[in-house]
Structure 1
Amino acid sequence: MIALAVVLACVINGDTMTGVLRQVTWLVVAVIVLITVQAIATRLPQSRVKPVVDV
């Protein structure tokens, strides 16, 4: 169903399948990078100094 929707979208927009596959590849790379950054950020030590709040 998803593949059919992608092909239909390509026909409607006039894109080529290679262009769509290129965009999907970059999307997957971006998602992998974001997941990696989130995983590394959770393992970093947190600051224990309380910020000074001026009232």
Structure 2
Amino acid sequence: MNVYEFFDPYEHSHLEAFQTLQDTGSWPKGFLPKDTVIPNHWQMMITAKIADAWMEENL
């Protein structure tokens, strides 16, 4: 599974983990499953997923 499939923007702990990544440059230890693949465009995919979730919840 890739990080985009794993990441759930509706799960508060996933958003906190993403904030930790932004603040420290690393995902929290143990957050990602060991078999997670991180493709080159992962950050754009996750931020789009967060934006889509925000739009669904707020518009």
Do the two structures share a fold, i.e. TM-score over 0.5?
no
Higher helix share: 1
Structure of larger gyration radius: 1
TM-score (norm 1): 0.35
Whose RCO is larger (CA < 8 A, sep 6+)? 2
TM-score normalised by the chain length of structure 2: 0.33
